Each structure stands twice: as structure tokens, then as C-alpha cells.
Structure 1
Amino acid sequence: MEENNTQQQTEEQVNKTAEASAENVATETAPESQDVKAEENAKEIEMTKLKAEIAESKDKYLRLYSEFENFRRRTAKEKLEMVQTANEQLIKAMLPVSDDFERAEKSFKDKNDKDSEGFLLIQSKFKKVLEQYGAKPMDIQKGADFNADFHEAITQIPAPEESLKGKIIDVVEKGYLLNDKVIRYAKVVVGN
């Protein structure tokens, strides 16, 4: 019996020791698992922040890229316009010479005269040069509608006919276009 008692006591002590060890293990693992969870939460927060920073950087990059593309297109368009109208000031300065040629042509009564041949040759070359660089005179007929986008009314006179009211009666000075842009408005007389 004594042996049984001793054995029981030993078993009880072993059980108590095992229970105490289990409690120690449980208390030791609880803080460790809390530390692990805290580390995982910190990593998740850091990953979320990194993802937000990446998204923000990507958005900035896309905006910057779009702005650069718009800038590139705008400068290309400006260069094209500059090339098309590069000679605008020179052509504007040459238009009075063209007007003088036309007035001189009207003063020649006999165009078969030898003196007029050279003049007409020079005038035609001058017109070809203007056309070569994109300048062309506006084709305005008497009786056409007045258009403020192309015409400048220098005066109004009573219309000789009812159908000419608000229409062009006479063209005093030709208008010119440079690549479909008005560089000089046609000076016209309008019927009232």
C-alpha cells in the first residue's frame, strides 16, 4: 500500500508539474503570438502605405507623361503654323507692289505694244512668286454678299438696283489670303 501511496503521490506531482509546464508554455506562447500578430499588422500597414505610394507615383507619372505629350503636340502645331506663315510680313509688304502692277496694267491701252510685253512678263512672274508662297487674291465679284470676315466696307452708297442692297457694288482694293488666312481684307463699296 505504501508503494501505491508513493506512486500516487509521484503521479500527482508529475501531473502538477505537467500542468504547471503547460501553463508556463501557454503564457510564454501567448506573448509570442501577440508579438507575431503585431509584427504582421505592422507589415500589413507598411504594405498598404507602400501600395498607396506606388499608386500615387504611378498617377504622377501618368499626369506628367500626358502633360509632356500635350506640350509636344502643341509645339509641333506651333512650328507648323510658324512655317506656313513665316513669310507673312514680307508678303504683306509686297502687296502694294502687286497693286501698283495692276494699276499700271490698266494704264496700258494697247497690250500688244513692245513696251508692255516686258511689263506684263514681270507682273506675271511676280504673281507666280506670290502664289508659290501661298498668297492668293480673293475672288470677289460685284453683287456678291458682304462678309465681314473677308471684306472691309470703306463706304456705303445708294444701291442702283434693289437687288444690290447689302451687296458689294465695287472693289476698291483686292484682299489676299495666305494659306487660307486673311492677310489683307478686301476694301469694298457696299450698296445701301
Structure 2
Amino acid sequence: MEDKEKKSQEDMVKEAVEEAKKEAEASKDEAEEAKTEEVSEEQEAGTEDQTEEKASKKFFGKKDKKDKKDEKIEELTDRLTRQMAEFDNFRKRTEKEKSQMYEVGAKDIIEKILPVVDNFERGLDAVPEEKKEDPFIQGMEKVYKQFMTVLESVEVKPIEALGNQFDPNFHNAVMHVEDENFGENEVAEEFQKGYMYRDSVVRHSMVKVAN
């Protein structure tokens, strides 16, 4: 009976020891598993940090250093802008020169026509009053008026002189007279009519200036 009880106690001890071993191994496995998970999380975190760092370096590296393609585009854009500016200046300069050449040529032709106008005016002024109704004289007056209308249509106009203040920009004084009937520096008589083409003088008025 005692042997049986002894044997039963030994079995209980063995079972208790086995259970303790199992529990110890289970605790050990859990600890190792927890440690493995912690290491894995740290590795993942480190990998993410490295990835972010690489991406950051890659991004900022591209920003700091321009792409060759972008540099070429900037160079071509700058060259095109300069060429367009040069062409615009050339176009404006050409138009100005062309306008000046046209004006010089027009003034030269007008200057050659003016003596014909002078002869018309002298001839009509010399006609006696009693002959002004003559058909020939009236025809000449009509031709003269038509001539002046054509000149006016191309922006040729006579310079106002008689009774105005003398202006060297428009008048050429060939005589001077003291006369109380005129104001100071007033044009008293016009010997030859002056003309302008647009805003420039083709021929100055030849005048006599009073006082």
C-alpha cells in the first residue's frame, strides 16, 4: 500500500515537472517570438527611413541640378527672344528709313513743281481787270485752282506769312522796313509764297519784315 502511494506521489511529481518544463518552453518561445517581431518592426522602420532618405536625396538632387534638356530649352528660348527683339528693331528702323526716303523724294518733286505754281500766280495777277471775264483767262484760273486742289490733297499747303509775326522757321526775311502801320516784327509784304509738305518746310516764304 505504501509502495503504491509512493509511486503515485512520484508520478505526480514527474507530471508537475513536465508541466513546468512545458510552461517554461512556452514562455521561452513567446519571448523569442516577441523579440523576433520587435526586430522585424525595427528593420521595417529602418527600411522605410532609408527609402524616404533615398527618395528625398533623389528629389532634391534633381532640383539642384538642372536637366540638360531644360538647359537647352532655356538657351533656345533666350536666343529666340533676342532674335525677335532684333527683328522688331530692324523692322521699325526700316519703316522709318523708308518713310524718310519717301518724304525726301516727295519734297524734291514738290520743289520742282512750285515754280510752275509761281508762274500761274504771276500770270493771273498780271491780267487786267477788264480781261478777267475772258474765257481763256477763266480757263487758266480753273486749271490753277485744280492744280492747287491736287497739291492740297497730297498734304502740300502754303505757309501763312502776310500780317503774321516773323518766324525764321517758316519765313526768310530779305528786306526790313520801319512802318507805323505794322506791328513789331510783323511780315509787311510777301515776295514769294512758301510751302510745307506735311510737317516739314519745302520752301520758306520770302518776306519783308516791319519794325
TM superposition score normalised by structure 2: 0.63
| Aligned twin of 1:136 | 157
For structure 2, the 5+ residue unaligned runs are: 1-19
- Root-mean-square deviation over aligned CA pairs: 4.4
Map of 1:141-156 to 2, 5 A cutoff?
141=162, 143-156=163-176
Assess if the C-alpha contact under 8 Å between 1:167 and 1:190 holds in 2. yes
The alignment status of 1:121 with 2:121, answered yes or no, reads no
For CA contacts below 8 A with separation 6 or more, give which structure has more relative contact order.
1
How far does residue 173 in structure 1 lie from its aligned partner after superposition? 0.5
Deviation at 1:10? Answer: 1.5
User: Which entry has the higher C-alpha Rg, 1 or 2?
Assistant: 2
Q: CA contact under 8 A between 1:111 and 1:117: conserved in structure 2?
A: no
Is the CA contact 1:85–1:178 (under 8 Å) kept in the aligned structure 2? no
**Runs of 4+ residues over 6 Å off in structure 1:** 53-86
Matches of 2:110 and 2:148 in 1, distance apart? 7
Pairing 1:174–2:186 present: no
Shift of 1:147: 2.3
- 1:96 correspondence with 2:105: no
Q: Secondary structure of 2:131's match?
A: coil
C-alpha contact (below 8 Å) 1:153/1:187 kept by paired residues? yes
Separation of aligned partners in 2, 1:93 and 1:117: 29
**Quick check: 1:84–1:179 contact (8 Å CA) kept in 2?**
no
SS at match of 2:34: helix
**Per-residue CA distance 1:40-97 (angstroms, 9 max, x = gap):** 43466689xx99x999999999998899889888888887888788643222101112
Shift of the alpha carbon at 1:13?
Answer: 1.7
Aligned length, in residue pairs? 186
Q: Judge conservation of contact 2:131–2:137 (CA < 8 Å) in 1.
A: no
